[in-house]
Amino acid sequence: MAIDPKETTERKSDHRLGDLGFTRIPSEEDPRRNPELLAAIAKIAPGTGLREAVDDVIRSHEGALIVVGDPAELSFLYSGGIRLDAPFRPQLLYELAKMDGAIIVDEAIKRLAWANVQLMPDPTIPSNETGTRHRTAERVAKQTGALVVSVSQQRETVTVFVGPARYQLDPVADVLAKTNQALGTLDTYRQRLEQVLTRLTALEFQNAVVLDDVLVVLQRAEMTSRMAQRITRDCAELGSEGRLIRLQLEELVGDVPGERDAIVRDYHVLGAGEEATVALAELAGLNYQELLEFGRLAEVLGYERGVNPLDQAVVPRGYRTLSHIPRLPEPLILRVVSDLGSLDAVVRASQRELESVEGVGAVRAREIREGLRRLQEHNLVDRYLQL
């Protein structure tokens, strides 16, 4: 079942993101993209002792100011209080929160160092917070880089400060609802990605790929990866409540990032080495609007922005297809592609030509030939199932 190359020029509307069912991913401005903040959120996620204590504080309609860091390094910030140096227990932290002042916990959250201390951060540090507790928390975090947790007594909210970053935790039920919705969207993204990947593979074996085919796959793969990253951040916030979501996420994502990376290495104009690595970093840095523009995606692959992707024929090097052959190590794939130059050359290569590649040998050569044959047959079945 061959794909007519002319069909590629007749499907312009098929590759516009709105027609593909993509929706804007609201993670572009997600502060949790900051790895330090995300790590801090994980320390207070459901299932942790710190979260247990904070939940008790909220249920008792109390407030709290908790600083997590090296007590010795933070000592210049506070005065007074009670020195404890006691093992960390959620119940004890909850009881200590009933007193005025802040609580100092060591970085490993293993010991309660001080309680009822008065924090005195630099007052010249700017703060957008209105409440005294939150304003102090923000200044301490900015001045020391420590994790500071502020529990509002009136609003019953929990705000995390790390350095200049600030994040207010949402109720677990709300995060679960949003994450499950995102998981459904990811499922749709993955299904549509599989469709265009199957089509691209068929075109590659027919040596009939145009740049448009590559760009739509690259766009879908990047969108799918970004949605998966957002769900991963949600799981960090959910802690023990996100176990089942993590399992579903692993199953849905599979090797999508690997497929995306292989596509860039297959089709980058300047080669699959350092240029492709730079292109992958550039792709990750695109904002949502840039990701919608095929001209911008073409630039990432080294093409001129004005190129017509429907008219630009391209030839795959074969990294992605060869990576699907079981037990074929990556260094060997690199040598095969380097010696033969393209997927079409690999497909057409004889047993002897494959054996001539360093490290291949007779057994590997047969595995490559047989693996490519199985991939072609499998791709044919997948295309029939999608009809």
Could you say which of 306, 334, 358 is where a domain stops?
Answer: 306
* 259 within some domain: yes
- Residue labelled with tokens 């309660």: 112
User: In this structure, are 10 and 68 located in the same domain?
Assistant: no
CATH number at residue 356: 1.10.150.20
CATH assignment at residue 151: 3.40.1700.10
d(CA 255, CA 279): 19
Q: Check whether residue 275 and residue 222 sit in a common domain.
A: yes
Tell me, yes or no, whether 178 and 80 share the same domain: no
Does some domain include residue 220?
A: yes
Residue 62, domain extent: 45-168
Spatial separation of the C-alpha atoms in residues 131 and 58, rounded to whole Å = 17
Q: Which amino acid is at 3?
A: I
Task: State which amino acid sits at residue 198.
Answer: T
Q: What share of the chain is helix, strand, coil (3-state, %, to 5)?
A: 60, 10, 30
Give CA–CA dist 232/245, Å, rounded. Answer: 9
Boundary residue ending a domain (107, 141, 168): 168
Question: Of 135, 152, 168, which closes a domain?
Answer: 168
92 and 205 housed in the same domain: no
Instruction: Classify burial at 35, counting beta carbons within 10 Å of its beta carbon; exposed 0-12, middle 13-18, buried 19 or more.
Output: exposed
343 lies in the same domain as 369: yes
Q: Give dist(CA 375, CA 377) in Å, integer.
A: 5
Tokens of 39: 């790590």
Cα distances from 106 to residues 103, 146, 236, 244, 338, in angstroms, run: 10, 10, 21, 31, 53
Looking at the fold, whether 206 and 257 belong to one and the same domain comes out as yes
Q: How many domains does the chain have?
A: 3
Q: What is the CATH number of the domain that holds 292?
A: 1.20.1260.110
Phi-psi region of 328 (alpha: psi -120 to 50; beta: other; left: phi over 0): beta
Contact yes or no for 63/57 (Cβ under 8 A): yes
DSSP label of 160 = E
The answer to whether 286 and 298 have CB atoms below 8 angstroms apart is no
Residue 181 exposed, middle or buried by CB count within 10 Å (0-12, 13-18, 19+): exposed
Residues 191 and 300 occupy one common structural domain: yes
The verdict on residue 36 lying in a domain is no
Alpha-carbon distance 318 to 298, whole Å? 19
CA distance 113 to 167: 25
- Residues 206, 292, single domain; the answer is yes
Q: How many residues does the chain have?
A: 387
Quick one: 332 and 353 in the same domain?
A: yes
Mean pLDDT per 10-residue section of the chain, whose length is 387 residues: 46 42 54 94 97 96 96 94 96 94 96 96 93 95 97 92 96 95 95 93 93 96 95 96 95 92 94 91 93 94 92 94 91 92 93 92 91 84 55
Task: Measure the CA–CA gap between 142 and 161, rounded to whole angstroms.
Answer: 8
Does residue 367 lie in a domain region? Answer: yes
Q: Find residue 280's DSSP bridge partners.
A: none
